[in-house]
Amino acid sequence: MSLFVITEDEIFGPKRPAPRPGLKGAPKALRWSSISQLKEGDLIVHEDHGIGRYGGLLKMEVGGKVSDFLLINYADKDKLYIPADRIGILQKYVGPDDKLPKLDRLGGRSWNVAKQKAKRSIKEIAKQLVDLYALRMHRKGYAFSPPDTNYKEFEATFGHEETPDQVKAIEEVIRDMTSERPMDRLICGDVGFGKTEVALRAAFKAVCDGKQVAMLVPTTVLAEQHYDTFSKRMGPYGIKVGLLSRFKTRKEQGQILAALRSGAIDIIIGTHRLLQKDVSFSNLGLLIIDEEQRFGVKQKEALKRYRALVDVLALTATPIPRTLQLSMTGIRDLSIIETPPEDRLSVQTTVSPYDEGLIKTAIHAELDRGGQVFFVHNRVQTIHNRTEQLRRLVPFARISIAHGQMKEKDLEQTMLQFLRREIDVLVCSTIIESGLDIPTANTIIITEVERLGLAQIYQLRGRVGRSREKAYAYLLFSDGARMTKDAEKRLKALMNFSHLGAGLQLAMHDLKIRGGGNILGFAQSGHITAIGYELYLKLVEQAVAELKGEPWHEIPEPEINLPVPARLPERYIGDMDIRLNLYRRLSTVKEKQQIERMKEEVRDRFGPLPQEVESLFGLVHLRLMLKRMGISRLDVGNSGIYLTFTETSPLKPDKLVKMITNKASRFHFVSPARLHIRAPGLANGDILGTVMQKIQIIEQRTR
């Protein structure tokens, strides 16, 4: 008798998370300057006309049809009206707040002069970026084997359903690892969005191929927690996990280092102690860096010796702007995890002066529902006085202290007690800002918040809200404290970006606050002020592509002139911000399926689609077709349809000529790039449907 074993994947295909309503098909754009966050008076960039000021979303009748337009005010009272469905050609201005640019004049020279100056300056940066990129491309690394049954089995031990972004990030990491080029990938995901699982899978893959893994973390407490997580998941497979930190005695450290050298340890998790010269490996294949933004310049210099030799995977929740700059320009690969885990709720954030009544109420409310509280006071000199005040305020609570200047064993013991729920309120320094996962702690109170940076506050707030419970963050500034303008802006930013997955947007906002005009050591703030950060980065990418010899064909947004009402009317969606957001999302769709999913979402939220909304979705589909065909403009007149082709149109000229010759009564060129399609009676029927049908016929016959 023969026995055949067939796996579940062979019958049903690989495991995929079910699509989640409202998230599926979301455009994977970097949304840090999203037009949907526009407010009247904000600066806005039009690539051709320059910097203006947003004047609102207006309804206007043009050519006999009512449409929505974005008003942009320029210098000398010039006004520009952009059809709302073409919102994609605009960018929100991101640049240093202390040097706001002047508004441009429509038709003036200043905008083109500023762009040309920026382009000249960018060339030198682009050359350095290309040299870095070439160095990385030509280095040969170790190509890991493709995932096998063992890997699939390990995958199945994950106790949750992967989010779509998690699946994509894992696939990208495994693809990098199985290629010969050394991986240098940044995983950017909000706190608690599943970056650790990506690291676990990469580590397992590396160990299965006989390689060692080093995981570098910024704090001893986080190292302990990762050690527990990795040990639990890897233990059943006989994988040996080690921990190296200042919690270990000198003798223990010596034993761990010897085991690393001999290959007895497969995965080592440690703080910056891992970067010291006495650390060596038997066969290191993967370096994982958690909370990369927390490491200093010297530590990053030490990391460079690894980058040349092994695969590097960096994890970050709030990437520092320079990290973003390099990721955006292709020097490092970037994976973004934006979709929150199922049932995850955003953290309700309150900003207030220091208020004992508020503190007492907040602690009572959390303890009454069986939870725990973080109380952050980042001054070791006064932390004991603050703790005594708290004990008088909430005498029934079990309160303890944790900070970085405590003896290692005492700190470890306190953190373990908090994990075991033997402590109700942990009064602590910012030592808890990295990666701690305590699902029962769902209230955090942060004092003297004016002294902390945006990334720090964001990381601290991320310590709560990691379960299905509603979480609360109280950001308290000192009574009577004079906040700097930067501190005020940071707190405003945190209030604006309190939704799930806002880490990337906050990083860009922090860049705006700090001015951040430095790429690879070149001071560029003047050019960023002149043209805005988003356009500046785009010009860097363009220059890099040209130096690499890659074609840079920017497909222009087609201009469509149809006598068909196509808009989101106020009677259907009353909230202007929602309408603006939907226009923005429609401008970023890349395929028909996304349009259909958005239609389904809008119908579900607001009811049956009025005719002008149906037409708007049709118009978006038509625009996709025109972009694909390299058509820059479509006009409808009494005698039919006019199409204007770009020089880079992918349509085959010989097939186009043949079609026109065979159907001379229907098609003819009125100029070398402008085609006329006769369509008698078009105005009396379904104009949009007829136009789309004609375009589809041309595409099918000329591809």
CA distance 384 to 401: 8
Q: Which of 633, 651, 652 is nearest to 643 (CA)?
A: 633
Sheet with 65-73, strands from edge to edge, namely: 79-83, 65-73, 50-62, 43-46, 90-92
Which of 306, 337, 368 is a domain's end point?
Answer: 337
Residue 543 and residue 594 in one domain: no
Does residue 682 belong to any structural domain of this protein? yes
Domain count along the chain: 4
Does residue 70 belong to any structural domain of this protein? no
Domain membership of residue 122 as a residue range: 111-139+518-548
Point out which residues pair with 518 in neighbouring strands: 523
Residue 172 and residue 321 in one domain: yes
Does residue 7 belong to any structural domain of this protein? no
CA distance 354 to 376: 13
Residue 156 and residue 302 in one domain: yes
Residue 115 and residue 221 in one domain: no
Does residue 565 belong to any structural domain of this protein? no
CA distance 342 to 468: 9
Residues of the chain by 3-state class (helix, strand, coil), percent to 5: 45, 20, 35
Residues 6 or more apart from 468 whose CB is under 8 A from it?
343, 344, 345
H or E, element range at 92: strand 90-92
Which of 499, 531, 560 is a domain's end point?
Answer: 499
Residue 461 and residue 414 in one domain: yes
What are the residue ranges in the chain where pLDDT is below 70? 1-2, 4-37, 96-99, 297, 300-301, 304-308, 318-331, 343-344, 433-436, 455, 480-528, 553-554
Residues 6 or more apart from 638 whose CB is under 8 A from it?
683
Point out which residues pair with 289 in neighbouring strands: 216, 314
Helix (H, G, I), strand (E, B) or coil at 469: coil
Residue 297 and residue 198 in one domain: yes
- pLDDT value of position 170: 97
Does residue 93 belong to any structural domain of this protein? no
Residue 35, both tokens? 């037009």
Helices and strands counted in the chain (H then E): 22, 25
**In 484-610, which ranges are continuous DSSP H helix?**
485-496, 503-514, 525-531, 533-548, 576-588, 592-606
CATH number, domain with residue 602: 3.90.1150.50
Note the pLDDT tens digit of each residue in 135-192: 777 778 899 999 999 999 999 999 888 989 999 999 999 999 999 888 989 898 877 7
Pairing label, strands 674-678, 667-671: antiparallel
Point out which residues pair with 671 in neighbouring strands: 674
Residue 135 and residue 154 in one domain: no
Residue 121 and residue 224 in one domain: no
- pLDDT value of position 139: 78
CATH number, domain with residue 258: 3.40.50.300
Residue 320 and residue 229 in one domain: yes
Does residue 240 belong to any structural domain of this protein? yes
Residue 227 and residue 360 in one domain: no
Does residue 89 belong to any structural domain of this protein? no
Residue 595 to residues 308, 540, 587, Cα–Cα distance (Å): 43, 31, 10
Note the pLDDT tens digit of each residue in 443-471: 999 999 888 877 678 778 878 877 778 89
Residue 602 and residue 662 in one domain: yes
Does residue 464 belong to any structural domain of this protein? yes
Residue 468 and residue 356 in one domain: yes
Q: Which of 564, 558, 702 is nearest to 644 (CA)?
A: 558
H or E, element range at 642: strand 640-645
